[in-house]
Amino acid sequence: MTGLLGKIKGVKDIERDDKRGKEQIKVEIDYVRLAEQELSVADVARNIRLAYDGEIVTSVRYGDEDVDFRVILEEEARASADVLGNLVIPNRNDRFVNLRDIADFPVEPGPSNSYHYDNERAITVTANIEKGVTTPVIATERVIDQIDIDRDWPGMRIGAGGEAEETQKSMGSLVVAFLAAAVGIYLVLLLLINTLMQPLIVMLAVPFGLIGVIFAFAVHGHSIGFLAMLGVIGLTGIVVNDSSILVNLANRLFADGKHDPAGSVIVEAPRYRLRPILLTSITTVVGLLPMAYGVGGSDPFSAPMALAMGYGILFATPLTLVLLPCLLLIGKDLHALVSKAGWNKQR
């Protein structure tokens, strides 16, 4: 795992929590020799435990207190590695067998600590990233894609945590918030416009703003993260506001009946609202871009939001002025076509 992380550019300070502890003597049993001596693993374990941990054999009461008597190797013998090999174990035929005859005793470092996750032994690998080079999500996905659990570590499982996990959770919550905001905007527009189709047409301006956000972050070489998505949600309200102004005026012109055919309304509505829409958008963009580029002081939290909102508005405004009237005209044609088909059917 650490080797895979080390190969990723921008990943540094790689550590794992299963560091080696103090040296310990490991009893490695030779099962062939164990069977030849007519012993079992339980016999070996029981005798080693008795020698080094002892066993209470009796208790004596002194006054109001019970005192246990434990049989155990003396402290000096327990501190000697040679005594372990000379430990004798009785087999089934009551013959004594030295532990060194059935086992080896390699000395190696033991684990310093044991960590658990969901009641299972776990090893945690941590690392830091260089901002602007990679992200926690990208680094985690690249590592997991190169690991075959069934082949490399059968019976184990791997999970991502830290900033990558929190980012995924935040993005999931942000998607829910975005959908809730979209539904709320649609309901408000439905009350204002009083038609089912036109609120959808107004909300079609939102993808135009997303085009600007994607373009801006691609040009600047930044990744669209959580803070940028917060800016996208704010951008949605601004873009919908400009679109609703245009649609509202077009509906009023249609209701007056002074503009005929409908195409003249589509031309007049953007002409009447061109100045307020442009002034509102330009002043908003001019106010946001200095914060996005750190003019007068930079803020790593506000800059992505300002960049997303600024370029989103910059792209969405001209597209809204051109494409939204066309969508309104298409909607009128579809409405007329449906009405005509219904009239013919009634006849």
Is the separation of the CB atoms in 125 and 19 below 8 Å? no
Q: Higher-confidence residue: 171 or 9?
A: 9
pLDDT digits (tens, 9 = 90+) for 28-85: 888 888 888 888 888 888 888 888 888 888 888 888 888 888 888 888 888 777 788 8
Residue 347 has pLDDT above 50, yes or no: no
H-state helical runs in 194-225: 197-203, 205-220
Mean pLDDT of all residues in 214-220: 85
Q: What is the mean pLDDT of the chain?
A: 79
**Closest C-alpha to 84, from 70, 71, 108, 103:** 103
CB atoms within 10 A of CB 338: 10
Residue 330 has pLDDT above 80, yes or no: no
Q: Higher-confidence residue: 46 or 168?
A: 46
Residue 343 has pLDDT above 80, yes or no: no
pLDDT digits (tens, 9 = 90+) for 266-304: 677 777 778 888 888 888 888 888 888 877 777 777 888
Q: What is residue 128's three-state secondary structure?
A: strand
pLDDT digits (tens, 9 = 90+) for 88-143: 888 888 888 888 888 888 888 776 777 777 778 888 888 887 876 777 777 777 77
Residue 164 has pLDDT above 70, yes or no: no
What's the whole-model pTM score?
0.53
Domains of the chain, earliest start first? 1-19+113-157 (no CATH), 21-111 (3.30.2090.10), 163-346 (1.20.1640.10)
pLDDT value at residue 1: 62
Nearest 5 degrees, angle CA 9-CA 12-CA 16?
Answer: 125
